[in-house]
Amino acid sequence: MRTRPLKVALLGCGVVGSEVARIMTTHADDLAARIGAPVELAGVAVRRPSKVREGIAPALITTDATALVQRGDIDVVVEVIGGIEPARALITTAFENGASVVSANKALLAEDGAALHAAAEKYGRDLYYEAAVAGAIPLVRPLRESLAGDKVNRVLGIVNGTTNFILDKMDTSGAGYSEALDEATALGYAEADPTADVEGFDAAAKAAILAGIAFHTRVKIGDVHREGITEVTAADIASARRMGCTVKLLAICERAADGASVTARVHPAMIPLSHPLASVREAYNAVFVEAEAAGQLMFYGPGAGGSPTASAVLGDLVAVCRNKLGEATGPGESAYTRLPVSPMGEVVTRYHISLDVADKPGVLAQVATVFAEQGVSIDTVRQQGKDGEASLVVVTHRAPDAALSGTVEALRKLDTVRGVASIMRVEGE
């Protein structure tokens, strides 16, 4: 074993960063044995240096992150500060000064991953980011390495623990969205500002990263169709239950049947209770990967939190340190297919549409005519009426999303349709 330690700079010492530092200290001997050399925490960049950080020597703390990554003796930089800047500049500076990088920054990777990979390649460094997608769940490395000889056609999953907790509580307790969000906040699953989670931004960033790796093409967060869960109601949950379904926020990345394009989307969807994702409870994540040779693979586990995310960071740290000792680098960006990302309108989906309609003869015929004119086939219809008012629930067969959207707009124009109570896609069948 080499006795000279590999030096690690830690950018950020919040929930994840502090746990990374703790594990590096308490498991130092094991990490050294697995890597082939000891690892040393050489500096920790923070914004508030006066805060007491148990287990970290005060001499290691600095507010000058740029100076830390410019030292020249740093072997690996662990970036867990998040956001676009200064993280992007710090990572690039680390590469320029001889360090490889382990990051958990999904937002930056989904926005500017191509440029970061190009910088890593230019300077002969590693860029690893297992923790950016699904916490402790090994997903990036299986896609990037274990399935490198296979053809992945679809990635489908629950990649945000906060929204899964909220939807699960709405389903199991009958709570409304606001009540479930309040409980998630009280338990620490939701941030004080939950927008990134509940509006689907977090899941969309992860979908962009997964699609890029799975399909060997460049997908940015702006390419991902995004819908959050703020409009999901208790009535939607009840409707799903009557269909033998539950509601989940899904990230779906697919290769087109002809192989000429890909799609990436995040939105709430009804899935059958028989589907394995339906049983994913509380703040857990689960992802299905469908490959030609391997078939269906499922990855399941805690998708967030200090310890699970730190586990993924440390796994990358070990791999990058091993590469350093061997004077090699791991796999970089693979974007050779250059496949275009199709717009949501071209995606083939199913819809569950709930309409408030007049309770009189001929209404169903009018509604059916609209679907026929838009080229959308109806799977099932359920109607209930009382005192001149009725509800009509229509579940469609698969059709282009643009045609389904056009159908909804045409339905709104019917005099007999009082309103569209809810619209939700149906997946997993």
Catalytic site residue from 206, 220, 248, 324: 206
The angle formed by the CA atoms of residues 112, 296 and 226, to the nearest 5 degrees, is: 40
* Cα gap 79→57, rounded to integer Å: 19
Confirm whether 122 is a catalytic residue: no
Of the candidates 96, 99, 122, 135, the one whose C-alpha atom is nearest the C-alpha of residue 10 is 99
Of the candidates 147, 95, 149, the one whose C-alpha atom is nearest the C-alpha of residue 121 is 95
* Cα gap 231→190, rounded to integer Å: 17
Of the candidates 223, 215, 213, 222, the one whose C-alpha atom is nearest the C-alpha of residue 117 is 213
H or E segment to which residue 366 belongs: helix 363-373
* Cα gap 54→42, rounded to integer Å: 16
- What CA–CA distances, in Å, run from 3 to 37, 100, 226, 361, 387? 6, 20, 50, 85, 84
**Strand duo 417-426 + 262-272: pairing:** parallel
All residues at 6 or more sequence positions from 190 whose CB lies less than 8 Å from its CB, including other chains? 162, 165, 166, 181, 184, 197, 198
Q: In sequence order, which ranges of 14-102 are alpha helices (DSSP H)?
A: 15-26, 28-35, 65-69, 87-96
Cα 419 to chain center, whole Å? 33
Catalytic residues: 206
